[in-house]
Structure 1
Amino acid sequence: MATETKESALTAEAAADAILALQKVIAAISASDPDSFFRSADTLQQVGDKLNELSTGIGDRAKILFMGGADGGRWEGEGAAACARIVGQFNAFLMEVLAAVRQWPEPVRGCGEALQRTWYEVDAVLAKHSGTAATPEASDPGGETTS
């Protein structure tokens, strides 16, 4: 009989610990902001757009400088060749950075979407079991609830 009481106490203690841990997770999810992920993804997209503009501008100016503009004049000689190499290397670097930055917005946006789904799922479970919601938005803005 004493063994059963001890096991029951351990089970109750484990359940209480699990509930406390779950409450901490719910609080962390509730405090998180999916919009920050969406804003970050938008910012990364804008950074990519600016890098692309910069690279295009450098390429256009380099063509005019080293190939000649509408007036036919161009910069030639050893200094021009050295500068052309530096400009070419810098532009290649910008293109590598641009390629990397272009890969980031969608995964970051996906984190925000996953956090939103988690909010709705937690809200649905809490509403089902206690009639309360954990997050500022108790239901899906699209009108659907997750169960």
Structure 2
Amino acid sequence: MGTPAAPPTEANLAYLSRAITAIENLDAQAYFNAAGVFVEVADLLVELSGELGTRSRRLTSEQGGAKGWTGEGAEAFLRVAAELEAFLTEFAEVVRGREAPTRAAGEDVLELKRGFEAILQANAVNGGGRETTPQVFPDKPPALDPVVPFEAYIA
């Protein structure tokens, strides 16, 4: 049949205890909140980019009959503003691209906890006839509301 497995050592049990604690301490909601922050930041960057474009063009055009800023300085300003506008838009796309994987990580944490709990329940030793109380993890991630406003992270 094969050699029976050796009983776990103190080091094995200590490692297992740390692993269990680490899994129990994972916070799926933190991932869902971070995903929401990525969306907020991306939206703010897009808004900032658009506002920069609008205001820079307003400075260099005629507004209500007033002569706008012209000349080489105005042209250089418009080039820099356009580059910054493009940078902000591109950065917003990068930030927005982090929302889905971050949300998926939160969903992975929920799935890990559900699976871990199922294994523990299936292998629990029923000491003294006591019933264990299973933890229940949601089938889907909780709603993002209330989302911590982005401003709270930069204050």
Give the TM-score taking structure 1 as reference length. Answer: 0.77
**CA distance in 2: counterparts of 1:132 and 1:101, whole angstroms:** 43
Q: 2:25 aligns to what?
A: 31
Q: 1:73 aligns to what?
A: 67
**CA distance in 1: counterparts of 2:64 and 2:13, whole angstroms:** 74
Kindly state the Cα deviation for residue 39 of structure 1 after the two structures are TM-superposed: 0.8
Contact 1:67 1:74 in 2 (8 A): yes
Larger radius of gyration: 1
Which structure features the higher share of helix residues? 1
Kindly state the Cα deviation for residue 22 of structure 1 after the two structures are TM-superposed: 3.7
Q: Unmatched 5+ residue regions in structure 2?
A: 125-130, 140-155
Change (3 A) 1:64 1:15: same
The percent identity for this pair of structures is 29
**CA distance in 2: counterparts of 1:74 and 1:67, whole angstroms:** 4
Q: 1:127 aligns to what?
A: 121
Question: Is 2:78 the partner of 1:84?
Answer: yes
Kindly state the Cα deviation for residue 64 of structure 1 after the two structures are TM-superposed: 1.4
CA RMSD of aligned residues (A): 2.5
Q: Unmatched 5+ residue regions in structure 1?
A: 143-147
Alignment equivalent of 2:137, drawn from 137, 140, 143: 140
Alignment length (residue pairs): 132
Q: Report matched runs for 1:35-50 at 5 Å.
A: 35-50=29-44
**CA distance in 1: counterparts of 2:132 and 2:70, whole angstroms:** 75
